[in-house]
Chain A
Amino acid sequence: MQEKVKDGQSSPFQVVGTRPVRPDGADKVTGRAKFGADLALPGQLVGKVLRSPHPHARIRSIDASAALALPGVKAVVTRDDFLEQSSEFIPAGEMMINYRDVVRNVMAREKVLYEGHAVAAVAATSAVIAKEALRLIKVDYEVLPHVIDVVEAMRPDAPVLHEDMRTAGLEPAPTTASNVAKQLEIGHGDIAAGFKEADVVIERAFTTKPVHQGYIEPHACVASVSEDGQADVWVSTQGHWVVRAHCARLLGWDIGKVRVTAAEIGGGFGGKTVVYLEPIALALSKKARRPVKMVMTREEVFKASGPTSGAHVRVKIGAKQDGRIVAAEAELKYQAGAFAGSPVQPGAMCAYAPYDIANVKVVGYDVVTNRPKVAAYRAPGGPISEFAVESVIDEIAGKIGIDPIELRLKNAAKQGTKAAYGPKFGPIGMVETLEAAKSHAHWRSPLGKHQGRGVASGFWFNIGGETSVSLGLNEDGTLSLTAGTPDIGGLRASLCMMAAEELGVPLDKIRVQIGDTGQLGYNFLTGGSRSTFSSGMATVEAARDVMKEACRRAAKLWELPDDAVEYSNGGVRPAGPNAGKHAPMSLKEIAGIAGKTGGPIVGYARINAAGAAPSLATHIADVEVDPETGKVSVIRYTAIQDAGRAIHPSYVEGQYQGGVAQGIGWALNEEYIYGDDGKLQNPGFLDYRVPVASDLPMIDTVIVEVPNPRHPYGVRGVGETPIVPPMAAIANAVANATGVRFTDLPMSPPRVLKALDEARAKGTAKV
């Protein structure tokens, strides 16, 4: 597709780059917007899930007869209501899924594999009756030993979750069962030779805890199946076509029989890319012949959805005295939760991606444990490996005595750099974000007592994928834009802006909606920072389709060849040597003659969006450490990131700020805490503490624009990269403030205080 501009300096745009009020704004500030739990259908039942109290147990039997006999109970479903699936890994955005596991995660079959694992579900006329019915379901469990920690799960004597699991990626293939689902390796060069060249080598081990996406809206859906098998689902999801595919597969229904409508979604961050309740609600509705609404409690959200992996990571980096990194190695052990499929692969791929390093080796392990199956979480895998790498790079800079930004500049990946995971980069903004950080006032501002400053960079790939958009020209010249990627953070605004820019019509003449699965061709989900990129590309193509058709209609009217009419300034006019003398027509006038010149004018785009480009960031964090309590406060923060092109800068800034806030939570507070009994001890927002307004400073942003040449407006995905740098930026700042290097997250007050006390005893603490 033709690129609109090549330089990032001057804006030739009327709409792109401005900050209009979003089209879904009024509904969202008045309470009118309908989210997952806001739909009520006549006659709807309440669906509730019975969940395992054990972290690991074999299900001997399930007896639901007493529950079914309870007045008001209309249906019960168990493992028997979902189709067995063969083992087959298929790509699901940035993650892989295996339907054999998906069906088992939705409803336990042979075993329960974590506390909170779904075992049965009921639909009843009220929530009170549904809860009573759950109490009446008798499940006979054979309790098994469990394993929660990733390193313990890798031991040969660990309790085995899946008797048929053999570690993939090993030669020869192992013959005994293991909790290591996969071992992988990426890299290039000669790592041993690289380390021999190094003047400075630093090796450190890191741990991170599982953290939850923490969307404020719990999973929610309403399903309705009619007597002829036609099914409708209303759901809060990042991808309704994906929900449709999963549900049809698990239930053995035709995809075409299922229509899924995306509700407004109250946050996802990757966690709403998979199915939990939807197939259950459909199965219940089919049995009960009534609509079934299901909403998770917050406790269920914590225990049975998400989170992302906790991990053990070892990083070893060698550099020359001049700051050139000559060898880089990492070993990543990521928890997948109960089923294979942690984000260790992307974690391995992006560990060293911001840098041009000749010798790289990263080994990864995907390890199952008796925890909820991990789901994608904003740049899945990246924040963990890059936290470790960016921490060691900071130490290398300190040891050599070189400014940490200079060290990164010296090693920064650029256009043409061959990444350790394979490809050669096109234009990328690593150097630009580093230069922007170096020249930012924040970098040179003075620090006070007990304060420290850290810097870290981050990388995320971004993806494209299958996308459909339609753009209808209405009779009065207004336009109806329908996209299929759920809008989580301002997508509709960006799409309208690109359409208005392209067509040369006022923004308020375009109304945009997210269509249901019956209204458009397939759309892959909103994830991988793809929606503004992919649906934006499709919107531009659909707009060009409308423009071309408008020209054709005018040519017909004017009895000119098609190429003697051109689109310009929101209308058509004769052009070229063959053009006659005709007054230009506005799009509104074309709309008025559409019926007489060939019928309705609708632009379509059905694409597999290629050309997604990575977004790089550099963050600066200032912290203050309370030497008496160990509390770390972030007192100033600047996030600098390459957006390619910011369509609506406010929502790009919002992505940066939101990712930083989640990263600060990951760095300082958030963690899943398990008891020896294998049960989650903090399944609520009181004890799983996400950052609140009083925890955070204003978060400054700098939008760097290195346009992506493969997008008509230069767009890169921006949503995920912002969560990558904060953990290392903060750890580096804490090290700067205290003289103590923290390698275990979260840096919560008790941990920090303990480390400070130890350092004080040794005389190495600065506070």
Chain B
Amino acid sequence: MAKHHITATVNGDPVEFLCEPQETLLDALRDQLNLTGTKEGCSTGDCGACSVTVNDRLVCSCLMLAVEADGKSINTIEGMAQGDELHPLQQKFLEHAALQCGICTPGFLVAAKALLDRKPDPSEIEVRYWLAGNLCRCTGYDKIVRAVLDAAQQMRGA
């Protein structure tokens, strides 16, 4: 089976990699590009731990083939902080203790950023429904929702 040569942009950097035709974007990110911040919880698109954006669209990277990433711009959790400066969502997740084990956290942050990019002033209900595709088994979502609302408020003020 010949491998495919893929050229894409990941977190602003040009990348090239070879992948099998059946390989998911998630596997390519983790295994080819060593970007293991994106997690695999189910491989069926139910848990959201593998959330990334592709051309600014929020996707489960386990449901997308790596070959489909050719020519696309992908953003992962590794691209969220700017230098030493955490993104306000990252900072608020820490301040609100919005993570316990932390396995779902990258997916939540990527998904929450995609929400705030579209809607800087979401209601609690909107946050809960937007994040309904991301499973967290530790927190009961309370502190996650509060962190997202607080980050949104701070970002609007900034």
**Residue positions of A touching B, CB distance < 8 A:** 19, 21-22, 24-26, 28-35, 37-38, 40, 128, 213-218, 264-269, 295, 297-298, 488-490, 648, 650-651, 653-654, 657-662, 684-686, 690-696, 698-699
- How far in angstroms is the closest Cβ of chain B from A351? 26
Chain B, Cβ-Cβ closest to A651: B97
A/B interface sample: 19 pairs, CB < 8 A: A25-B99, A29-B94, A31-B36, A32-B37, A37-B40, A38-B30, A216-B41, A216-B47, A216-B49, A216-B104, A298-B42, A489-B100, A657-B140, A690-B137, A692-B135, A692-B141, A693-B132, A693-B136, A694-B125
Flag if B138 contacts A267 (CB, 8 Å): yes
Given A31-B37, A217-B41, A685-B42, A661 and B129 touching (CB < 8 A)?
no
A684 adjacent to B44 (CB under 8 Å): yes
Encode contact with A along B28-43: 1 for CB under 8 Å, 0 otherwise.
0011001111111111
Within the assembled complex, what's the spacing in Å between the Cα atoms of A490 and B142?
A: 16
Complex Cα spacing A33 to B37, Å: 7
Nearest to A35 among chain B residues (CB) is B103
User: Is A31's CB under 8 angstroms from B97's CB?
Assistant: no
Given contacts A28-B102, A685-B47, contact A216 B142 (CB under 8 A): no
| B53 CB–A CB distance under 8 Å | no
Interface size on B, residues (CB 8 A): 60
Please, what's the 1-or-0 string for B134-155, where 1 marks a CB less than 8 Å from any CB in chain A? 1111111111111000000000
Q: Which of B94-141 contact A (CB under 8 A)?
A: 94-97, 99-106, 109, 124-125, 127-129, 131-141
Q: Is the CB of A661 within 8 A of B139?
A: yes
Q: How long is the Cα–Cα vector from A268 to B131 in the complex, in angstroms? A: 22
Q: How far is the CA of A661 from the CA of B140 in the complex (A)?
A: 5
Check if A490 sits within 8 Å of B100, measured CB to CB.
Answer: yes
CB-CB under 8 A from A25, the residues of chain B are 93-94, 99
Asked if A217 and B39 sit within 8 Å, CB to CB, the answer is yes
Does B141 lie within 8 Å of A693, measured CB to CB? yes
Say yes or no: A684 contacts B46, CB within 8 Å: yes
Complex CA distance for A213 and B138, rounded to whole angstroms: 10
B69 to chain A, nearest CB (A): 18
Q: Which of A19, A29, A295 is within 8 Å of B90, CB to CB?
A: A29
Q: Which of A24, A26, A35, A295 contacts B86 (CB 8 A)?
A: A26
Give every chain A residue within 8 A of B105 (Cβ-Cβ). Answer: 28-29
Whether, in the assembled complex, B59 has its beta carbon less than 8 Å from a beta carbon of chain A, the answer is: no
Q: Does B16 contact A (CB under 8 A)?
A: no
Report the minimum CB–CB distance from A178 to chain B (whole Å).
36
**Do residues B127 and A693 form an inter-chain contact, with CB atoms below 8 A?**
yes
Q: What is the CA–CA distance of A651 and B97 in the complex, to the nearest angstrom?
A: 7
CA–CA, A651 and B43, complex, Å: 29
Residues of A within 8 A of B44 (CB): 298, 684-686
Are A30's CB and B78's CB within 8 A? yes
**Which residue on chain A has the smallest CB distance to residue B90?**
A29
Closest residue on chain B to residue A487 by CB atoms: B101
User: What are the residues of chain A within 8 A of B136 when measuring CB–CB?
Assistant: 216, 693
A-B pairs with the 6 shortest C-beta distances? Answer: A31-B37, A266-B103, A661-B140, A28-B102, A650-B97, A657-B140
Contact partner, A685, options B76, B97, B135, Cβ 8 Å: B135
Q: Which residue of A is nearest B99, CB measured?
A: A28
Instruction: Determine whether the beta carbon of B137 is less than 8 Å from that of A267.
Output: yes
Given contacts A21-B94, A489-B138, A654-B139, contact A31 B77 (CB under 8 A): yes
With contacts A29-B94, A267-B138, A662-B137 known, what are 10 further pairs, Cβ within 8 A?
A21-B94, A29-B93, A31-B35, A264-B103, A265-B101, A489-B100, A658-B140, A684-B46, A694-B129, A696-B142
Chain A nearest Cβ from B42, distance in angstroms: 4
* Set of chain A residues within 8 Å of B124, measured between Cβ atoms: 698
With contacts defined as CB atoms under 8 Å apart, how many contacts are there between chain A and chain B in the complex?
185
**Other-chain residue from A31, A684, A694 in contact with B78 (beta carbon distance below 8 A):** A31
- Shortest CB-to-CB span from A699 to chain B, Å, is 5
Q: A31-B76, A657-B143, A685-B46 given as contacts; is B36 within 8 A of A264 (CB)?
A: no
Instruction: Please state if A30 and B80 are interface contacts (CB–CB under 8 Å).
Output: yes
Most chain B CB neighbours (cut-off 10 Å) among A29, A34, A264: A29
Docked-complex contact B39 and A35, CB < 8 angstroms = yes
A-facing residues in B53-101 (Cβ within 8 Å)? 76-78, 80-81, 86, 90, 93-97, 99-101
On chain A, the residues within 8 Å of B138 by CB distance are 267, 488-489, 654, 658
A182 to B41, CA, bound (A): 36
> A34: nearest residue on chain B (CB-CB)?
B36
Who on chain B is nearest to A127 by CB?
B27
How far does the Cβ of B135 sit from chain A's closest Cβ, in whole Å?
Answer: 6
Q: Are B90 and A30 in contact (CB under 8 A)?
A: yes
Chain A nearest CB from B7 CB (Å) reads 23
Is A217 within 8 A of B86, CB to CB? no
A690 touches which of B101, B133, B135, B143 (Cβ 8 Å): B135
Interface centre among B22, B40, B78, B137 (most CB of A within 10 A): B137
B residues near A266, Cβ cutoff 8 Å: 39, 41, 101-104
State A651–B37 Cα separation when bound (angstroms).
23
A686 to B47 Cα, complex, angstroms: 9
Q: A650 with B143: in contact, given A216-B41, A297-B43 (CB under 8 Å)?
A: yes
Other-chain contact of B141, A30, A488, A659, A661 (Cβ < 8 Å): A661
- Report the separation of the CA atoms of residues A225 and B138 in the bound assembly, to the nearest whole angstrom: 34
Indicate if the CB atoms of B41 and A24 lie closer than 8 Å. Answer: no
* A488 CB contacts on chain B under 8 angstroms: 100-101, 138
By a CB distance below 8 angstroms, the chain A residues around B78 are: 30-31
Decide: A31 near B135, CB < 8 A? Known: A25-B94, A650-B96.
no
Q: Say yes or no: A692 contacts B104, CB within 8 Å.
A: no
Docked complex Cα distance between A745 and B59 (Å): 34
Distance from A308 Cβ to chain B, minimum over Cβ atoms (Å): 14
Distance in angstroms between the alpha carbons of A95 and B44 in the assembled complex: 33
Among residues of A, the one whose C-beta sits closest to the C-beta of B124 is A698
Closest Cβ of chain B to A378, distance in Å, is 10
Complexed CA–CA distance, A488 and B102 (Å): 8
**With A25-B94, A490-B100 known to touch, is A699 a contact of B39 (CB < 8 Å)?**
no
B36 contact set on A, CB distance < 8 A: 31, 34, 37-38
Bound-state CA distance A694–B122 (Å) is: 14
Determine the distance from Cα of A267 to Cα of B104 in the docked complex, in whole angstroms. 10
Asked if residues B143 and A217 are in contact (CB atoms below 8 Å), the reply is no
CA distance A693 to B100 in the complex (A): 16
Q: Which residue of A lies closest to B87 (CB)?
A: A29
Give the distance in Å from the alpha carbon of A490 to the alpha carbon of B125 in the complex. Answer: 28
Q: Decide: A660 and B43 in contact? CB cutoff 8 A.
A: no
Nearest chain B residue, comparing its CB with the CB of A27: B102
A29 and B46 contacting across the interface, CB-CB below 8 Å: no
Residues on A with C-beta less than 8 A from B46 are 298, 684-686
Is the CB–CB distance between B100 and A31 below 8 Å? no
Q: Which residue of chain B has its CB nearest to the CB of A266?
A: B103
CB atoms of A215 and B101 under 8 A apart:
yes
- Residues of chain A within 8 A (CB-CB) of B86 are 26, 29-30
Instruction: For B81, list chain A residues within 8 Å (CB).
Output: 30
Cβ–Cβ < 8 Å partners of B145 in chain A: 693, 698
Chain B: minimal CB distance from A529 (Å): 14
Chain A contacts for B90, CB-based, 8 A: 29-30
Provide the bound-state CA to CA distance between A38 and B78, in Å.
14
Q: Give A655's nearest chain B residue, CB to CB.
A: B100
A343→B127 CA distance, assembly (Å): 38
How far apart are the CA atoms of A693 and B127 in the complex, in Å? 8
Which residues of A lie under 8 Å from residue B132 when comparing CB positions?
Answer: 692-695
Expressed in whole angstroms, the Cα–Cα distance for A316 and B71 within the complex equals 68
Q: Roughly how many angstroms separate A214 CA and B42 CA in the complex, as a whole number?
A: 11
- A269→B34 CA distance, assembly (Å): 29
Q: How far is the CB of A213 from chain B (nearest CB, A)?
A: 8
Given A217-B41, A686-B44, are A489 and B143 also a contact pair (CB < 8 Å)? no
Residues of the A chain whose Cβ atoms lie less than 8 Å from the Cβ of B49? 216
Shortest CB distance B133–A (Å): 8
CB distance from A713 to the nearest CB of B (A): 19
Closest chain-A Cβ to B8's Cβ sits at a distance in Å of 18
B residues less than 8 Å from A650 (CB atoms): 96-97, 143
| Complex-state Cα separation, A297 to B46, whole angstroms | 13
Partner of A651, one of B95, B100, B137, B146: B100
